[in-house]
Copies of this chain bind each other. A is one copy, B any other.
Amino acid sequence: MDDAPLVRKHTGDFHWEGVDVLRYKQEGEAPFKDVTRQVLFESASLPAQLRYFEVAPGGHTTLERHEHVHAVMVIRGRGQCLVGEHAYAIGERDLVNVPPMTWHQFRAAADAPLGFLCLVAAERDRPQMPTRDEASQLQQVLDKL
């Protein structure tokens, strides 16, 4: 962003001038399905970053937790999120707050993408993955929704 133009236009379909569509994570790093990542704002002048993630229909982000928090606003489509021990149906403009060390996962609906802004601190710890038992327990919460 420090070298970025002052204004970057939305070019349609949730893409922006000068913003690359990136892998969500490296393949094999953690389980996920059909997610892209775009970094909208990062700057040496700002202690935070704003990213746009898009989960394709039927896809999902990694089930994980970490010390750093997520501040999320859905801006496209709909789906579900798991935060802690509860699952929620979410849609456009809903706000999601992921506190420290709280399990979370975002899933798109079967027939719609789920696109969301995610605000994080610039400095942050690495995510932790659940054990197999933890994962299957959490999975049940999401599947009940």
* A8 pairs with B94, CB closer than 8 A: yes
Which of A20-28, A42-50, A57-65, A130-138 lines the interface with chain B?
A: A42-50
* B46 pairs with A121, CB closer than 8 A: yes
Q: A45-B100, A46-B119, A48-B47 are in contact. Are A73 and B40 (CB under 8 A)?
A: yes
Stoichiometry, as copies per complex, reads: 2
The number of chain A residues touching the other chain, given as a range, is 35 or more
In A36-76, the 8 Å CB interface with B consists of 40-41, 43, 45-48, 50, 68-69, 71, 73, 75
Q: A94-B7, A96-B7 are in contact. Are A48 and B45 (CB under 8 A)?
A: no
A4 within 8 A of B: yes
| CB of A73 to closest CB in B, whole Å | 7
The answer for the CA separation of A127 and B91 in the assembled complex, in Å, is: 36
